[in-house]
Each structure stands twice: as C-alpha cells, then as structure tokens.
Amino acid sequence: MSEAKAGSLYVVATPIGNLDDLSPRAAQVLGQVALVAAEDTRHSARLMRHLGLSPAMISVHDHNEASRVETLRQRLAQGDDVALISDAGTPLISDPGYVVVRELRAAGFRVVPIPGPCALVTALCAAGLPTDHFSFHGFLPAKGAGRRARLEAWKHSTVTQVCYESPHRIRDTLADVAAVLGERRVVLGRELTKTFETFLDGRAAELLTLMETDPDQARGEFVVMVAGDSGPAPDQRAVDDQALLGALLAEGVGVKQAAAVAARVLGGPKKQWYAQAQALKDAD
C-alpha cells in the first residue's frame, strides 16, 4: 500500500438531536468523501438531505461490521476517503465502528477523528456530578439478573457511573438501582439537545414515582448517571496509632519491629513510629 496515495478514514460525530450541532468541519468532510459508511443508511440519508448532500453510502452496523472491513480497505487503498458515522453521536461510543477502526489502523491507513456531539459528555457536563473520574458502561444487560449483577459492582465505587438506557427499560433499571444502590443520587439526561430535553435529579425511587405520575418523563433515550459511593469501603475501620503500637509492644514485639508494622499499616516514616513506640515502652 502506498500511504501517500491511500485515502483516509474519517470518524465523524453527528448530531444526537439538534441538527445545528453538526460542526462545519464535519459537514465539509461529509461533502468531500467518496463514501459514507453509516450505521443505518436510511436514517443518515435524512442528515445528508439536510446538508444538501447525496454521497454514496454503505451500511456498517453490529451485524455486518467485520464483513465490511475488506470493502472499506479496498476503497481506501484506491485513494478514496471514507467517513464513518453512526445514527447519532460519536461512532464507537456504544455504537459500531470499533472493528473497522481497529482493522484499518492495523493495516496502516490514516484514521482521523472529527469530534462533535456525544450523549455521554453532553449529559455529564450538565448533571452536576463529579466528572474528574467516571466510568461508562454503554447499555446495561437487558435481563434483570445481569443488570443487577452489574449494579452490584458499582456499590463501593467512589466514581460517577454512567450508562445509556432505552425508554422501555428505564423503569426497570431505576427499580434495580433503587434495590441495589439505595439512596444514591441519580441524574437522568433525557432527549438531550431535542425540544423536550430534560434533566431529572433525585433518588432512583423518587424518579420512579415521578414517572408514574407523569409518564411523559419516561419517554425518549436516557443517559443514566449515578453518584459514586461517599461512604467508607466495606470493613474499613479507623486504626488508632497509639492502640496499635501499644498492642504490638504488649505482645512482645520489639520497638523496631512495631515501628515497621505501623509504618506499613498507617503510612509515614519509620523514624516517627520508632520514636512513638519507644516513648510508649519507656512509659510502662
């Protein structure tokens, strides 16, 4: 393959609701590529019409992604630029594209990200939950047992947990969050960037009650954000330094060894613990 003549794969983020969120750079790329690889060509055709474009399109989705790699490789090798898009948002973020990007990068082709809308980031930036460290899980398992098992793993995590959820499972998911995580704060981002965009904030049980009284609040696609655990880790107990040193000395442990154990358990320099242990021993 001659890299100078090869085409590039552009990974293009598209709107998650408001078509005006498409960046000028993304629109330019979509208008210039020889081929658009879309998750659903019928769905993406509406965006193309909005832009006044009529590019050649090929479907690339979960069920055919691996088999499309060779077709895309040939087009790039011929010098054609290709745009990879999903139905909404950034490809690969809980959307198809991973196999295509992995294989074409491995084959030596240039992969160019064209950043833009992403429901995950859009929701987090307006939720009022910590974002310096968070964990994203895509869609949780559809069946209750699998979903609850995943939630159990969140119990003692201190970071914000994020997942996507569909309208027909949002109530079940909230019920499981209430059962497994109890009073943890939950923020739901609903219909983001669309006319009825809403952020719901409260305990999972409270949000379930809200949806029972106002069924419209269960409509649309959701980003579910759950606050991290703010309590101590299970079985975590405060260790009193004087009590620890005293117990070690009472058991016949030497001052030097007691200082080493304290430094390992509680942290800090051994010299500091040695002085404290010696003072305790001298006081007896």
Q: What is the pLDDT of residues 100-137, one digit of tens each?
A: 999 999 999 999 999 999 999 999 999 999 999 999 99
Q: What phi and psi, each to the nearest 5 degrees, are found at residue 272?
A: -65, -45
If pLDDT is split at 50, 70 and 90, which confidence band does 238 have?
Answer: low
Q: What is the pLDDT of residue 271?
A: 87
The CATH architecture of the domain made up of 120-226 is 2-Layer Sandwich (3.30)
Q: Cα dist. 238→157, 229, 246, 263, 266 in Å?
A: 19, 18, 16, 15, 10
Q: 11-20, 102-111, 204-213, 230-239: which has the minimum mean pLDDT?
A: 230-239
Q: Cα dist. 25→29, 56, 90, 119 in Å?
A: 6, 19, 14, 19
- Domains in the chain: boundaries: 8-117, 120-226, 241-283
Instruction: Provide the 8-state DSSP code for 6.
Output: -
pLDDT at 38 over 50: yes
pLDDT at 234 over 70: no
CA distance 40 to 222: 20
The yes or no reply on domain 8-117 and CATH 3.40.640.10 is no
User: What mean pLDDT do residues 59-77 have?
Assistant: 97
CB proximity list for 88: less than 8 A, separation 6 or greater: 14, 15, 16, 17, 117, 119
Q: What is the pLDDT of residue 2?
A: 45
CA distance 12 to 84: 6
Quick check: 10 and 112 in contact, CB under 8 A?
Answer: yes
